[in-house]
Amino acid sequence: MSHLPKRRRIERRPPLVLVVLAALGAVFFVAPLAGLIARTPWRRVPELLANDVATDALGLSIATSIAATAVSAVLGVPLAWLLARIDFPGKALLRAVVTLPLFLPPVVGGAALLFALGRRGLIGEALYEGPGLLLPFSVWGVVVANTFVAMPLLVLAVEAGLRNLDPRFEGAAATLGARRLTVLRRVTLPLVAPSLGAGLALAWARAFGEFGATVAFAGNLQGRTQTLPLAVFMALETDRDTAVVLSMLMVAVSLAVLVVMRGRWWRWR
Amino acid sequence: MLVRILAGACAVTLALVGCAGRVGGEGGERVIVFAAASLTDVFGDIQVAFQAAHPDVDVELNLAGSGALREQILEGAPADVFASANRATMDEVMLAGETAGPAAVFARNELAIAVPAGNPAGVTGLAALGRPELLIGLCAAGVPCGDLARTVLAEAGVTAVADTDEPDVRALLTKIEAGELDAALVYTTDVIAAGEAVDGVALAAGANVTADYLIAPLAGAANPVGAARFIAYVRSAEGRRILTDNGFLLP
């Protein structure tokens, strides 16, 4: 009993090269954050956060990122299920198209959305001429742009979860007489809950930080489409202290949510 | 084994970084020019003409809103020349001690109303920017074209109902080109640069305000000689011809 820990400790000592490289990797992420903290004018924080540009942007960012996460879940979970469980021609291509927003420059995504959903767009023209729905320059446009960049993360996470699922659980439930939607609701979804949780957290964080697609598709207007990242970018032009404080606010909110969500859902082991 | 792979990865990385560092050179020199977004087309033309006249020099353009460029310069971005779309931004760079010589006005510009080709909303003048049923775009306050637009609107007594405050004039123009906005205040040169997708509506006589474009060598320049040559070229007869061809006014 008392000999075991000793042997383990020897085995566990990590190779020095790895530790050094890992430390360098960590510095790469910590340094910019430290730079931001060093630049923050702490005494002016309350005054700058009370500014209506900041409060409007924070409120809008929270509302639109949550809405985009909800839309991503409603549409993304069925899409992930389709990609994981059903074989159909063109599936590889569809998966590539669904994950494309992860790799496209967001501004390109925003421009593509404008050409598809703008009032002169492929689909947007019908929406505008018919029900009079105009997505660009509206809060709904922000939700669309956020969903476009965020949903792929959720689809990837849930699809991976579904693939790793042992199909015998669902088979057993079906054998016992459960209908297909009941199996999905009572067996499949609870089993992929950790993947779904991780997907929701990632999608939300991505939506909360979205800039390029939003500014290209929804424009930038305080109180209507100016989210926190847009407010930061615009403040860089005029008032650096405000830009830094808004950046710190984004970092704080994102970190808090990711740490909490990770503790709750996202333990890999 | 692992160490060997990591060493290999490092060697490859260093080689790539080394190559990237030399791309501009090829034995010659390099001039890095930070220029306001509204100079995109004209500086593209000047870049081509300058490189034709000086085959040993490679001009690299970094185009963005003047304020964003100012931030990059104040944070120590490597640049030899700065061309701003207004005096205030250049003054801030100068006050920070980042210029290496006097800033010179090399071009002027005015505003025009940009509308999608065919002017579907029937815009005839500045008053249209106050019509709430139209989709109106401006450059954001703090961006030179945005500040200029607000001055022009205030002097005309028009309260604009903007649907978007775009971060730079090119982003604004893109939305006019796509037909997603009905009218926007941009530079006259942008209307010319946009070609057939955009029509221009001139402002009423006396309603316009002139913007100055300034150019200066930077204190942090790695290539001060190249910076001086580029600035001299912009202000030469050839540079002035390219500027007027693109619709700029001369000082």
In tens digits, chain B (251 residues) has pLDDT values of 444 544 444 444 444 444 333 344 444 789 999 999 889 999 999 999 999 999 999 999 999 888 889 989 998 899 999 999 989 999 999 999 999 999 999 999 999 999 999 999 999 999 999 999 999 999 998 888 999 999 999 999 999 999 999 988 889 999 999 999 999 999 999 999 888 999 999 998 888 889 999 999 999 999 999 999 999 999 999 999 999 999 999 99
The pLDDT of residue A130: 87
Task: Pinpoint the residues of chain B covered by CATH 3.40.190.10.
Answer: 25-108+212-245
Considering only the beta carbons, identify the residue of B140, B167, B178 that sits closest to A114. Answer: B178
- Top-level class of domain B25-108+212-245: alpha beta
The pLDDT of residue A257: 85
Contact A21 B171 (CB under 8 A): no
Q: What is the pLDDT of residues A95-115, one digit of tens each?
A: 999 999 999 999 899 999 999
Which candidate in B93, B163, B173, B181 is best for mutational testing of the A interface (most A CBs within 10 A)?
B163
The pLDDT of residue B24: 41
Q: What is the pLDDT of residues A228-258, one digit of tens each?
A: 999 999 888 778 889 999 999 999 998 888 8
Considering only the beta carbons, identify the residue of B167, B179, B180 that sits closest to A234. Answer: B167
Which A positions 219-238 lie with beta carbon below 8 A of chain B? 219-222, 224-226, 233-234, 236-238
- CA dist B45 and B192 (Å) reads 14
The pLDDT of residue A12: 72
The pLDDT of residue B142: 84
The answer to whether A38 contacts chain B (CB < 8 Å) is: no
* Superfamily holding B111-201: Osmoprotection protein (prox); domain 2 (3.40.190.120)
- CA dist B35 and B69 (Å) reads 8
Under-50 pLDDT residues of chain A: 1-2, 266, 268-269
Contacts of B2 in chain A (CB under 8 A): 15, 17-18
- Top-level class of domain A59-226: mainly alpha
The pLDDT of residue B79: 95
Task: Pinpoint the residues of chain B covered by CATH 3.40.190.120.
Answer: 111-201
Domain boundaries, chain A: 59-226
Mean pLDDT of chain A: 89
The pLDDT of residue A259: 84
